[in-house]
Copies of this chain bind each other. A is one copy, B any other.
Amino acid sequence: MTYTEAAAWLRGHDRYLILTHKRPDGDTIGCAAALCRGLRGLGKIAHICPGTGETHLFTPYLEGLLAPEGYEPESVVSVDIAARGLFTDAGRPWLERGIDLAIDHHPSQEFFAKETCLDAARAACGEILYDILAELGQINGETAVPLYVAVSTDTGCFQYGNTTGNTHRVAAALMETGLDVFPLNKRHFRTKTWARLQVERLIVERMHRYEGGKIAVAPVSLSLLEEAGATEEDMEDIAAFLGQMAGVETSVTLREQEDGACKISLRTSGGLNATKVCALLGGGGHAAAAGCTVPGSLERAEAAILAAIRQVEADG
């Protein structure tokens, strides 16, 4: 379905339920909130499926939009959900009854819905929602905030490599509605909890460096988390932390698990294939970001991943 067809479809139906993906991010939450507000702006009944599982960071965008108990929709739309396995517990029954329209930007889209509006060239699903809502005349103060959250969070505030000219064009158009982006940017990109700062401090204190600083390893023990007073919510994207250090080409974050195993996250920027390294330890991922889980202590995990890195380096 094209944007225009998706817009026409949305105009032609009513009583919407909007589904987000599990472990939600700003893109799925922002798209759901923008679509919900846009449909209401057209005079439709629209709600977001509760049980999104969002963190406190995203809660405000859902205020007043969650479906009341017993709500019976006629049209079910998923946003930013690529695969059947990514539905929430509350969303899964709707998958079984049938999704009417899936709006998505993932190349891995499984085409589980009756109709799909997919554009894999977009950095954020929010860029697709922007085009659809623009077609519906629903770009305004109500929809600009969640759309900006969607687009900015999925691109690391326009810093990641997925950012395109279109991403900036959408941001420009949203700002021209009068949107004040500074509080949103502060909230999503310029705020760290006390506990997060402690985690980063302890990582800097305890990291190991190899090969003249090209490889950096952060061993994150359960006791480090306790010392920092950190919960899982404080650990978001921690695997990227050491990769920002000047000179580091390969960064490894080791997370001690309750069951005695270690989760390893590997990030590379110097040409080393992270997937090949992690495959040697039974894991996988992308060329620049991969992971695996190995049994045993942090020390054993560190030795194992260093050996794997060296083997892949030696194989050229």
Footprint of B on A, CB under 8 Å?
Answer: 157-161, 163-169, 171-173, 175-176, 180-182, 185-186, 189-194, 197-198, 200-201, 204-205, 213, 243-247, 269
Contact = CB atoms under 8 A, between A and B. Distances in A.
Contact of A165 (B158, B175, B190): B175
21 contacts: A157-B159, A158-B158, A159-B190, A160-B182, A160-B185, A161-B182, A163-B175, A163-B182, A165-B173, A168-B168, A168-B175, A169-B172, A190-B243, A191-B244, A193-B245, A194-B213, A197-B245, A198-B204, A200-B200, A201-B204, A201-B205
Q: Which 5 A-B pairs have the closest CB atoms?
A: A168-B172, A161-B182, A165-B175, A165-B172, A165-B176
**Interface residues of chain A: helix, strand, loop or mixed (majority):** helix
Nearest to A184: B159
Contacts of A193: 245-246
Contacts of A169: 168-169, 172
A156 to B, nearest CB: 8
Contacts of A181: 161, 163
Given A159-B185, A165-B172, A172-B172, A247 B201 contact: no
Contacts of A244: 190-192
A213 B201 CA distance: 18
